[in-house]
Amino acid sequence: MNKTTCSIMLAATMALSAIVGYSAAGDSKEDQTARMERLDWIKFQARLKSLKDAKYTIVDAWASNCGPCKENFPHLLDMHKKYGAKGLKVVSLSLDDPSDQTAVGEAEKFLKQKNADIINVLLDEDYGVGFEKLNISAIPAVFLFGPDGKEINRFTMDDPNNQFTYDQVEKAVAALLGAGS
- Tens-digit pLDDT profile for residues 14-68: 333 333 333 333 333 344 467 899 999 999 999 998 988 899 999 999 999 999 9
Give the SS3 label for residue 172. Answer: helix
Between 140 and 25, where is the model more confident? 140
pLDDT in tens, 66-115: 999 999 999 999 999 999 999 999 999 999 999 999 999 999 999 999 99
CA 150 to chain CA centroid, Å, is 20
Between 162 and 138, where is the model more confident? 138
Helix/strand/coil (H/E/C) assignment for every residue in the chain:
CCHHHHHHHHHHHHHHHHHHHHHHHHHHHHHHHCCEEEECHHHHHHHHHCCCCCCEEEEEEECCCCHHHHHHHHHHHHHHHHHHHHCEEEEEEECCCCCCHHHHHHHHHHHHHCCCCCEEEEECCCCCHHHHHHCCCCCCEEEEECCCCCEEEEECCCCCCCCCCHHHHHHHHHHHHCCCC
Residue type, 127: Y
DSSP 8-state assignment for residue 42: H
Cα–Cα distance measured from residue 103 to residue 94, given in angstroms and rounded to the nearest whole number: 10
Cα–Cα distance measured from residue 155 to residue 60, given in angstroms and rounded to the nearest whole number: 9
- The CATH architecture that domain 34-177 belongs to is 3-Layer(aba) Sandwich (3.40)
pLDDT of residue 33: 64
141-145 and 88-94 beta bridge pairing: unpaired
C-beta atoms surrounding 4 within 10 Å: 8
pLDDT of residue 9: 36
This prediction has a pTM of 0.80
CA 30 to chain CA centroid, Å, is 13
